[in-house]
């Protein structure tokens, strides 16, 4: 028998990858919304596979692209693109092909709390994204039958990356005087409980494999270095300490959840740990700067958002940060390799994605 042509895609390791999150994972949701939080113009995407802006907040790929590749899946399309194609009211055997290997619900500026990020315009908050997953479940159940859909969801990976905007666009801006009502640790508790509730909602529709991303060192982002007047590029400890505390709560919650529901696996992946490893060992990874955005204006490029190709540096791969908030493709790749196998530094507990995929139901 003839062997398969070399271009044949690998057999996927899981049926599908579903993505919930904010601009760390948005692949074009916000292109369909009235919002300032959009990455559908140059120079975004200039180093992406297609060399065009797609709605990804980076110069190239984001972590979920690299993870889809590791899993043997195509890049996951945005949910809103699927629904736009389907048109309203055409439920039933609608474009199942576009959803069967996964859907991306992530929306830039989205938070765990629905009001986070709303000053930028429209976005799809965590609760709304989970409702869209529930809608997808129903649509697939209509098309494939309940049993096949249960099996699909049980074996698929759900990637969740959200929470930064609850600090960036809500707590740190002291929206509605939130800091008077909640100390940082109380606010963290509120957020973590909300995430737990949504993971339970997903569990109720047979989601069993979750990669839960912790928050990055937000206090090292060029925006805050500029905003808080960092002298020599030192990260803003006040912000990072709040984030570390949130991450601790997230990790504890996820380990408690799998104790309570032993048939589920939530792997908490410490983006903070993985990022600090890059910031502290920039030479090993080949980065020339860990403080300056490739695309931006002002000190650290953190004063103004990246809007024109002329604002961008020539070689993004020498930078950790692409714009005032988002990392470059080079960093996204390292983080994804850590989520997959801990290639550079261990990030995921209790198991990395490669191990999770091998777990028996």
pLDDT digits (tens, 9 = 90+) for 242-285: 999 999 999 999 999 999 999 999 999 999 999 999 999 999 99
Reply yes or no on whether the pLDDT at 140 is more than 50.
Answer: yes
How distant is the alpha carbon of residue 293 from its chain centre? 19
pLDDT recorded at residue 220: 97
Reply yes or no on whether the pLDDT at 59 is more than 60.
Answer: yes
Reply yes or no on whether the pLDDT at 116 is more than 50.
Answer: yes
Beta strands 209-213 and 265-269 are parallel
| Residue 151 forms part of a structural domain | yes
| Residue 227 forms part of a structural domain | no
Catalytic residue ranges:
23, 323, 326
From 254, 283, 286, 280, select the one nearest 268 (Cα to Cα).
Answer: 254
Dist. CA 189–CA 89, nearest whole Å: 39
| Residue 119 forms part of a structural domain | yes
Q: Across residues 80-95, what is the average pLDDT?
A: 58
Supply the CATH number for residue 112's domain: 3.40.50
| Residue 241 forms part of a structural domain | yes
| Residue 317 forms part of a structural domain | no
Contact 78, 51 (CB under 8 A): no
Number of domains in the chain: 1
From 65, 68, 43, 61, select the one nearest 53 (Cα to Cα).
Answer: 43
| Residue 140 forms part of a structural domain | yes
pLDDT recorded at residue 93: 45
Structural domain span for residue 210: 17-217+237-271+339-358
From 165, 159, 236, 170, select the one nearest 199 (Cα to Cα).
Answer: 159
**How many CB atoms are closer than 10 A to CB 115?**
14
Give the long-range contacts of residues 254-261, CB within 8 A, separation 24 or more. Answer: 254/199, 254/210, 254/212, 255/349, 255/350, 257/196, 257/199, 257/200, 258/350, 261/203
Average pLDDT, the chain: 92
| Residue 307 forms part of a structural domain | no
| Residue 311 forms part of a structural domain | no
- Band of residue 92 on the pLDDT scale cut at 50, 70, 90: very low
pTM given for the model: 0.94
Dist. CA 204–CA 254, nearest whole Å: 16
pLDDT recorded at residue 296: 94
Q: Across residues 227-232, what is the average pLDDT?
A: 94
- Band of residue 191 on the pLDDT scale cut at 50, 70, 90: very high
Reply yes or no on whether the pLDDT at 95 is more than 70.
Answer: no
pLDDT recorded at residue 361: 58
Q: Across residues 295-314, what is the average pLDDT?
A: 92
Dist. CA 217–CA 242, nearest whole Å: 10
Q: Across residues 151-167, what is the average pLDDT?
A: 97
């Amino acid at each position: 028998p003839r062997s398969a042509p070399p271009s044949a895609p690998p057999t996927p390791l899981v049926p599908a990858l579903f993505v919930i999150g904010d601009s760390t994972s948005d692949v074009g949701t916000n292109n369909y919304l009235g919002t300032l939080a959009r990455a559908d113009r140059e120079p975004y995407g200039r180093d992406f596979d297609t060399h065009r802006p797609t709605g990804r907040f980076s110069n190239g790929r984001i972590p979920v692209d690299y993870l889809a590749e590791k899993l043997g899946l195509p890049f996951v399309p945005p949910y809103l693109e699927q629904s736009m194609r389907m048109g309203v009211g055409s439920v039933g055997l609608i474009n199942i092909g576009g959803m069967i290997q996964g859907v991306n619900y992530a929306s830039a500026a989205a938070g765990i709390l629905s009001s986070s990020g709303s000053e930028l315009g429209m976005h799809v908050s965590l609760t709304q994204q989970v409702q869209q997953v529930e809608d997808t479940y129903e649509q697939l159940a209509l098309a494939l039958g309940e049993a096949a859909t249960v099996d699909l969801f049980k074996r698929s990976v759900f990637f969740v990356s959200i929470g930064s905007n609850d600090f960036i666009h809500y707590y740190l801006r002291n929206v509605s005087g939130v800091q008077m009502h909640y100390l940082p640790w109380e606010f963290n508790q509120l957020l973590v409980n909300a995430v737990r509730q949504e993971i339970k909602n997903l569990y109720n529709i047979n989601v069993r494999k979750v990669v839960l991303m912790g928050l990055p060192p937000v206090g090292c982002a060029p925006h805050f270095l500029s905003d808080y007047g960092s002298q020599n590029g030192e990260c803003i400890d006040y912000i990072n300490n709040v984030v570390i505390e949130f991450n601790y709560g997230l990790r504890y919650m996820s380990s408690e959840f799998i104790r309570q529901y032993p048939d589920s696996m939530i792997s908490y992946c410490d983006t903070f740990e993985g990022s600090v490893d890059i910031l502290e060992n920039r030479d090993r990874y080949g980065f020339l700067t860990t403080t300056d955005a490739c695309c931006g204006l002002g000190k650290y490029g953190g004063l103004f958002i990246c809007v024109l190709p002329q604002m961008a540096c020539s070689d993004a791969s020498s930078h950790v940060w692409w714009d005032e908030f988002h990392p470059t493709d080079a960093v996204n790749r390292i983080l994804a390799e850590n989520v997959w196998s801990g290639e550079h530094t261990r990030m995921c507990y209790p198991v990395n994605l490669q191990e999770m995929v091998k777990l028996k139901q």
